[in-house]
Amino acid sequence: MQSEISCDNIVSIVYCSKKEAIKLTIDDKTFNKIFAKIDMVILLLAKASFTSKQVREIVTKGRGRNAAAFLKAYNLCDGSRTQAKVAKEAGIDPGALSRALQKWEEGGIIYRIRSESESIPNKVFNKI
């Protein structure tokens, strides 16, 4: 018996290098299993690279009285909320959060899962 697979639960991953391009198509369940393992490796590397105190300093640097809101925003970056939802829940201007996320990403304390229409930030350190 064949099981039906709709296009809604298929993920395509494209890897390109100077020598080759590879396209891998997998179902959502398999993708989620792979991503969970990749996520775990990212978290382990981050914990080896930063202390919670260092992450807190990066997040709050230059924020003054707004530091608590940016700490809240960082902790909301758990991969379940879009960038817009994080800004709204933390009470931060979306533009200010976007600039902060860019700095945090460049600093290695978050990574973003991007699609054509949205960005989902994910922190690499547990709650700080």
In sequence order, what DSSP letters do the residues of 89-110 get, joined into one string?
HHT--HHHHHHHHHHHHHHTSE
pLDDT of residue 18 exceeding 80, the answer is no
Distance (Å, whole) CA 26 – CA 5 = 11
Pairing of strands 10-16, 21-27: antiparallel
Q: Assess whether 44 and 65 both reside in one domain.
A: no
User: Domain boundary residue among 12, 29, 48?
Assistant: 48
- What range does the domain containing 104 cover? 50-128
Distance (Å, whole) CA 111 – CA 128 = 16
Q: Assess whether 61 and 41 both reside in one domain.
A: no
- Of 74, 80, 79, whose CA–CA distance to 50 is shortest? 74
More confident: 4 or 90: 90
Taking residues 112-123, what's their average pLDDT? 77
Q: How many domains does the chain have?
A: 2
Q: Assess whether 65 and 114 both reside in one domain.
A: yes
Write the pLDDT tens digit of every residue in 46-89: 667 778 888 899 999 999 999 999 999 999 998 889 999 999 99
In this structure, what token pair is assigned to residue 64? 């003054």
Share of the chain above pLDDT 70, in %: 77
Q: Assess whether 64 and 11 both reside in one domain.
A: no
In 10 A of CB 105, how many CB atoms? 15
Q: Assess whether 108 and 55 both reside in one domain.
A: yes
